[in-house]
């Protein structure tokens, strides 16, 4: 998360607390009623709120995925050399909200045409991507992407790739918008995220609340 320079604004860096080392999420041992989805849409601070307000979503976790470095830190990620993307893992009840609905929310919170960036954040670590966890998720993601390419009559840059290890981000990144609302709003405004979402999606920007 940064301004056009590719680095987080100094005002935000001064306020960021030192977080714990990231660690992979434990294997899912919960009931079958609980499912997970992983989406990368640039700044993970900004991808938690659209899902947290949804009925059927029990948790969102910011983290890193798609790279080879084990136990990556935020500092390593921001250098852009690890191959990881900032992402959000969504825990949800598929009997209440479907994966297709989660995809609808995802698309309307990103710029689907941007390559290797999202809004003011530049670099592959801010790329948009859908990390599918099974064949059904892959099929639904591919279908939704094709529908958008037909709608906009242009290519969609968002990747659709299999999920690998998801590394939980440092504690201070989790629910940042709730812990630091003023700083979060300053960052979001400075990055021009909402203006671009409205430009692409119009009244659909931000997605629905189901």
Q: Residue 162, SS3?
A: strand
DSSP H or E segment with residue 112: none
> What are the CA-CA distances from residue 58 to residues 55, 91, 210 (Å)?
8, 6, 14
Q: How many Å apart are CA 72 and CA 42, to the nearest integer? A: 17
**Cβ density class 172-188: b for 16+ within 10 Å, e for less:** bbbbbbeebeebbeebb
Cβ neighbours for 95, distance < 8 A, ≥ 6 positions apart:
33, 56
Report phi then psi at 37, rounded to 5: -135, 145
Does residue 66 contact residue 161 with C-beta atoms inside 8 Å?
yes
Which residue blocks in the chain are alpha helix, DSSP H? 10-15, 44-52, 74-78, 99-107, 135-152, 176-179, 181-190, 193-201
Catalytic residue, candidates 43, 46, 120, 191: 43
120 is catalytic: no
Spatial CB neighbours of 136, under 8 Å, sequence gap ≥ 6: 99
Q: Which are the catalytic amino acids? A: 43
């Amino acid at each position: 998360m940064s301004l056009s320079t590719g680095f987080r604004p100094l005002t935000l860096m001064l306020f960021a607390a030192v977080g714990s080392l990231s660690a992979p999420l434990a294997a899912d041992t919960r009931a079958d009623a609980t499912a997970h989805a992983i989406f990368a849409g640039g700044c993970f601070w900004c991808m938690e709120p659209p899902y947290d307000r949804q009925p059927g979503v029990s948790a969102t976790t910011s983290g890193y995925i798609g790279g080879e470095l084990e136990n990556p830190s935020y500092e390593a990620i921001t250098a852009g050399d690890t191959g990881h993307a900032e992402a959000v893992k969504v825990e949800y009840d598929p009997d209440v909200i479907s994966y297709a609905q989660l995809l609808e929310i995802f698309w309307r919170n990103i710029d689907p045409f941007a390559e290797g960036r999202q809004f003011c954040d530049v670099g592959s670590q801010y790329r948009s991507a859908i990390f599918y966890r099974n064949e059904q998720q892959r099929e639904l993601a591919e279908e939704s992407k094709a529908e958008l390419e037909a709608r906009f009559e242009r290519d969609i840059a968002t990747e659709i790739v299999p999920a690998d290890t998801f590394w939980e981000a440092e504690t201070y990144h989790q629910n940042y918008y709730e812990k630091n609302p003023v700083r979060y709003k300053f960052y979001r405004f400075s990055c021009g995220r909402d203006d671009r979402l409205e430009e692409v999606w119009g009244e659909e920007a931000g997605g629905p609340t189901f």
